[in-house]
Amino acid sequence: MAAGVVKRRRGRGERAAPLDDVTGRARPGGSPGSASQASAGSRGSPVCSRARRRDLSRSARMGNSALRAHVETAQKTGVFQLKDRGLTEFPSELQKLSSNLRTIDLSNNKIDSLPPVLIGKFTLLKSLSLNNNKLTVLPDELCNLKKLETLSLNNNHLRELPSTFGQLSALKTLSISGNQLGALPPQLCSLRHLDVVDLSKNQIRSIPDTVGELQAIELNLNQNQISQISIKISCCPRLKVLRLEENCLELSMLPQSILSDSQICLLAVEGNLFEIKKLRELEGYDKYMERFTATKKKFA
């Protein structure tokens, strides 16, 4: 019989049967297809079941120790931070803190969805960070967070934003770098207090006319697939910093009005399909440099 199924003394030189990672019992041996292995296999757990059991065991330990301690601390501070813990779900224990949390940081976990009803209850939340998780979609209820000022969702699997995203009226900083957005979300143009937008490392191919209504001061579109830019980008009333590095831009596709007739004082376009020295030859470059130099002196 396979070692671990029937207990017996090992002979000299005989190796111990390997222990199961979860149960601590010996894993079944024997030759493939033998009756003893089939019998042991029927009582054992498949690899996926063992992995699932480890996750559940880890979650149980988390619920009994670290999670409880963090919840207790958050009750006093209004800040809940639990990063790098392998969480697969948004902690339901936070429901009791929905009326007093100001900051939630669950970055570097394995969360693939947000509970719609629960996430919409954090009415005083100002900062939400869920970087490096597995989110594929955001619930509409997220947009009920009327006091939210900072939202960080870098390195997830998001393809779009909720249609109600423009209801996040207090939002100032938005980071969605490293996702799968295929277009500049038009909802952003409804956010009147938005200062910084990071959409780098996505799959955006063009910048549409709606960009002219964007209120952001800084727009980061580095490492996308942008080949076309609407001239309306020159109309952004507050845009000072525009980052377009490592895209697919030909020089002819860069509106000269960005240089001559915009508020932009820092234009980063390295790594596109033209040489930077060619940019310096365009009409309006002198006006751009005047803005650039004035801003540099201001912060020197």
Which pairs from 228-231 meet CB under 8 Å and 24+ separation?
228/253, 229/253, 229/254, 229/255, 229/258, 230/206, 230/255, 231/255, 231/257
**What confidence score (pLDDT) does residue 3 get?**
41
Q: How confident is the model at residue 67 (pLDDT cuts 50, 70, 90)?
A: confident
Which residues are paired to 267 by β-bridges?
242
Q: Which one is predicted more confidently, 18 or 289?
A: 289
pLDDT at 18 over 90: no
- pLDDT tens for each residue of 173-190: 999 999 999 999 999 999
